[in-house]
A and B are shown apart, each in its own frame.
Chain A
Amino acid sequence: MKVIEVKGLVKSYGDFTAVAGIDLSIEAGEIFALLGPNGAGKTTTVEILAGFRIPNSGSVSVLGFDPATKGDAGRSWRNRIGIVLQTASDAGSFKVREIVKHFSAFYANPRDVDQVIEAVGLTEKRDSLVLELSGGQRRRLDVALGIIGNPELLFLDEPTTGFDPEARRAFWSLIRDLKAGGTTILLTTHYLDEAEELADRVAVIATGKIIEVSTPALLGGRSTAKATVSWMGRSGLESEESDNPTAVVTKLAAQFDGEIPELAITRPSLEDIYLKMIGGRDE
């Protein structure tokens, strides 16, 4: 079943085109990552899918509904989704449990308040004021408020920005637990390792367009990428890209009649591929 189906999505603000024709198709139970640099159009896309913004053109279906649906139908649609937007700093004068419990009242079938607080690792902080939380704890509270309604679909907009490595690992395991529970997750991130770690599929997005949709392992033709053989030639450093680096080395060995100076064979990392993909779009 398709949870999200998007065709030809366009959104501009004045002269600036934030989203320039995006197609997306996301399956139930999937973790799908929108990966791209800042300003690529990730947040705008998520905010359209979550019903915050109206696109200029294109068709959008989320859980079978147009996110712009208002009234009672809009309410029952929102009852089925959870949204964790980029950093908010509200609710400072509430206690953690108070605010989670309050949000649970908005939904028809909320999760258990204490279990959710436990799942995001805030049990020790449940009676603390929100303004006393650290940045990472606050972000985990954001997630708690996003999942308290027991959503079928969860939007996570750059959830781990500003986390230390340990907090990110803990967060990733929380997201994997949610997936195991059957939640479909649309995640935006500019961290490559996060997409690689969590996502079933990744869409690389830059300047409002999707460059490629793939599994992390196959992204940018990584599994079949050419190796680069480099060496010190007569007039400086030379290199050659090849599918058969061994043949290149054999050829070079014959040329140099023995040891090849400064020989190196490298294959592109996911990061190289990603930077190449988004770099080509920068101008």
Chain B
Amino acid sequence: MNKVPGTLKLGLLRGQMEIIQFSRQKEAVVFTIFFPVILLAIFGSVFKDTIAPGVTFSQYFVAGMIASGLVNSGFQNIAINIPIERDLGAIKRLRGTPLPITSYFIGKAISVFASMVVQVLILLAIGIAFFGLNLPTDPSKWITFTWLLILGTASSTALGVAFSSVPKNGRGASAIVSPVVIILQFFSGVFFVFTQLPGWMQQVAAVFPLKWLTQGMRSVFLPDTFAAQEVAASWEGGRTALILFIWLIVGLFFAVKTFRWENK
């Protein structure tokens, strides 16, 4: 008798299906891909000042939008969609097959990553074309960008799966998940310059991953001279990686521990 197919191979197939499913939900595509662009257009038109020599608000804002894109596509979409999938019986059906649950998680992460790549490309293209965005030329910045995108996708996906156990059903999911994300965005310096926020807000935000993703993306898109203006007067790359990694482990732990295949 042949062996059942491998977990990674099935994870890739799940990723393909998740991407097909996502791309056929036109509202979701438009919202996820173009919402950051619309926000960039609004904020870029309202705040035309520079926040430091050579750093426009648009430049600062693009870093925040990419970071919060990771939270939207990963954490928010997944924590809302899994309860809906449970309502529809999708997860229960998969549970009755030899598909390992790990492959299901891998599929989610792949689809988040794919959606991020598209989002980033569109956001950067529009930023360059209309809002004077400058791309980094130093290859080491792009290496930072790559690991941030991968680690950010992984931890955001894991935390989304973990948080998907909180909503009782698909109908209530959005009302529970969205406020968490919006508050986190305000606290983490996505919409405002982080160091101008009240101290207590900064401290709360420092516990959560979005602040570190945002700061990490600033280290990619802002000149190194700006590092002096960060809270620690440095980009804190190592600490960012560590904190994102800890959140990834926490997310995976609760994802596996609390995952349900049907609603209560």
Contacts and interface: CB of A to CB of B under 8 A. Distances in A.
Contacts, number: 75
A59 B91 CA distance: 27
Interface in A6-56: 50-52
Given A108-B2, A108-B5, A52 B99 contact: no
- Identify which of B2, B4, B98, B100 gathers the most chain A CB atoms within 10 Å of its CB: B98
A85 B4 contact: no
Given A88-B89, A93-B24, 18 more contacts: A52-B95, A52-B96, A78-B97, A83-B93, A85-B93, A88-B88, A88-B90, A89-B88, A89-B89, A91-B90, A93-B20, A94-B17, A98-B17, A102-B13, A105-B13, A108-B1, A109-B2, A149-B97
B98 A79 contact: yes
Nearest to A85: B92
Nearest to B88: A90
26 contacts: A50-B96, A52-B92, A52-B96, A75-B4, A76-B98, A79-B4, A79-B98, A85-B89, A92-B88, A93-B21, A93-B25, A94-B20, A94-B21, A98-B20, A105-B5, A105-B13, A106-B10, A106-B99, A107-B4, A107-B5, A107-B97, A107-B98, A108-B3, A108-B5, A108-B98, A149-B97
A117 interface: no
Interface of B: 1-5, 10, 13, 17, 20-21, 24-25, 85, 88-90, 92-93, 95-100, 261
Interface residues of A, number: 28
Contacts of B99: 106
Contacts of A52: 92, 95-96, 261
Sort A-B residue pairs by CB-CB distance and give the 5 closest, nearest first: A88-B89, A90-B90, A83-B96, A90-B88, A108-B2
A93 B162 CA distance: 25
Nearest to B103: A106
Contacts of B20: 93-94, 98
A64 B209 CA distance: 47
A87 to B, nearest CB: 7
A274 interface: no
Contacts of B25: 93
A234 B30 CA distance: 83
Contacts of B4: 75-76, 79, 106-108
Interface in A126-153: 145, 149
A152 to B, nearest CB: 11
Contacts of A88: 88-90, 92-93
A103 interface: yes
Nearest to A79: B98
A106 B11 CA distance: 10
